[in-house]
Amino acid sequence: MPVVQPRVELLAHTPEPLSLIYAAFRQCYHDGQVADMWPRLLAGDISKEKQAAFVAAILESGHASPVEHVSFTFALSGVSRALTHQLVRHRIASYSQQSQRYVDGSDFDYVIPPEIKKHPEALARFEGVMAEIGSAYRELKAILEVAGRTGSKANEDARFVLPQATASNIVVTMNCRSLLNFFEHRCCRRAQWEIRHVADAMLALCRDVLPEVFMVAGAKCERLRYCPEGEKFCCGRFPVRKEGGA
């Protein structure tokens, strides 16, 4: 039962993302059809610098819906089921996750929290529990198979003993607006360590492809320049907003 680390890879994104967002924004303010403009955009008749400046100015005004036309697809592997339970709460997205019904969990991979790794006594106890669960899974599966529940039918019942530490693989697709919201919540220092690590890696990949949208993305405080979490939860990176203003 190997210990694994999260891995984030960008599988695909909408082609010509900046030009598509520019065209969508322009359609809102243009009396013609942007389909006539599209060949010029692809040919480079309208410079990327001009497109970027226009997109930045409109985004600054608060008009953000046209960025929804561009999406990114990521493969996340070696992440815990605890992380994927948090991830799927971001509802404007598409997910395809490794099934515990069809994938045998007899030798499941798992993720160890860093704070547990720091303490030898806690680590030994954690790893002992993982070994116990693996043994219980295999025993339950064998009992069920003898009773006639073979293949995925045995897996689907035995999986009920698997822990949240169990590693999983998942494909996720989000549009840019959903990603901006995701980064605001999950790049925050208050987010759990694992999903924050994954969100930071996803953000870095998005910035490489579309810096015009994602260069200023991240935790909500980075955009607001103050902490919206209040005194109780503020990490101290930015001041807390006071009553009546920032």
Q: Which pLDDT value is given to residue 246?
A: 46
Encoded tokens for 177:
């607006």
Encoded tokens for 244:
């009546």
End-to-end C-alpha distance for the chain, whole angstroms:
50
pTM across the whole model:
0.92
- Coil, strand or helix: which one is 162? coil
Q: Is 181 annotated as a binding residue?
A: yes
Q: Which pLDDT value is given to residue 243?
A: 61
Q: Which pLDDT value is given to residue 244?
A: 55
Q: What is the mean pLDDT of each run of 10 residues along the chain (246 residues)?
A: 90 97 90 88 92 90 92 98 97 97 96 97 98 98 95 95 98 97 94 97 98 92 84 84 60
| 116 and 122 Cβ atoms separated by less than 8 Å | yes
Q: Is 81 annotated as a binding residue?
A: no
| 109 and 98 Cβ atoms separated by less than 8 Å | no
Q: Is 225 annotated as a binding residue?
A: no
Q: Which pLDDT value is given to residue 22?
A: 94
Query: DSSP code of 174?
Result: E
Q: Which pLDDT value is given to residue 15?
A: 97
Encoded tokens for 92:
């404007």
Q: Is 98 annotated as a binding residue?
A: yes
Closest CA relative to residue 199, chosen from 186, 210, 190: 186
Angstrom distance (rounded) from CA 62 to CA 163: 42
Q: Is 87 annotated as a binding residue?
A: yes
Q: Which pLDDT value is given to residue 70?
A: 98
Position of tokens 């529940």? 149
Q: Is 90 annotated as a binding residue?
A: yes
Q: Is 89 annotated as a binding residue?
A: yes
State how far the alpha carbon of 170 is from the alpha carbons of 6, 21, 147, 210, in Å: 11, 27, 32, 23
| 41 and 90 Cβ atoms separated by less than 8 Å | no
The H-assigned helical ranges of 44-166 are: 48-60, 81-87, 114-117, 120-146, 152-158
Q: Is 97 annotated as a binding residue?
A: yes
What is the set of active-site residues? 186
